[in-house]
Copies of this chain bind each other. A is one copy, B any other.
Amino acid sequence: MSCKLQQVGFLGFDVFGTVVDWRSGVARAAAPFLERYDIELDPFAFANAWRALYQPSMEQVRSGARPWARLDILQRENLERLLASHGVAVDDIPEQDLADLTRAWDRLDPWPDAVAGLARLKRRFAIAPISNGHIAGMLQLARFGGLPWDAILGAEISHTYKPQPATYLASLEAAGFAPGQAAMVAAHNGDLRAARALGMHTVFVLRPHEYGPDQDTDLRADEDWDVAAESLAELADILGCA
């Protein structure tokens, strides 16, 4: 049997988009909120618009323009910004409703192949998120969807956001693996580029509908990543995980 990634003992996972389907989950939570407050926006468009504020808000932290802030703080700010840009008087909305909607990011369904795939991969590899999500959010996602992580690593370990090198390196240091003993698993070529530059192995997982039917990014592996798969189940097959 071929055995790929033979030197690898640890798989670090991108989570939003790679393991869980944030778009459907956020749209599901947003639908009753949009109706209650008479906001004429399609819930899926709302989810994409909220997500579109994600990178710019992290960029403020990456650039040093603002100090470290956890992702739940950024998501809440982005929600208020998004609502305001659609003419909603945010101050008139009860705190509890804004907090509940922000927690949509903690209650996202795994992609259909994810839980079984992770369980198989876990037999051979230590597995953990190297996500920009915060620890509490990753913990809630794991419990909501049954994600069998060995540990939760990522941005909150380093107080930096991917693709900053420290996010990967501090996570690996905490897990006890050198970059050459680890692989990054992501549906995003940019994530893998950053990981490869640090000496990590790379696994691309195709998620062509992360952003919906009209997605035009990350529709294929842009580089010769060490492994490419169309699901975590296929990845477990490729890596010889029973």
Contact = CB atoms under 8 A, between A and B. Distances in A.
A132 to B, nearest CB: 15
Interface string A137-170: 1111011000011111100100000000000000
A175 B126 contact: no
A176 B138 CA distance: 10
A195 interface: no
Contact of A136 (B137, B139, B143, B174): B174
Copies in the complex: 2
A135 interface: yes
Contact of A150 (B139, B174, B176): B139
Contact of A138 (B137, B148, B149, B151): B151
A151 B156 CA distance: 13
Contacts of A143: 126, 150
- List of 8 A-B pairs having minimum Cβ-Cβ separation, nearest first: A136-B176, A151-B152, A135-B174, A139-B151, A139-B150, A136-B175, A142-B150, A139-B175
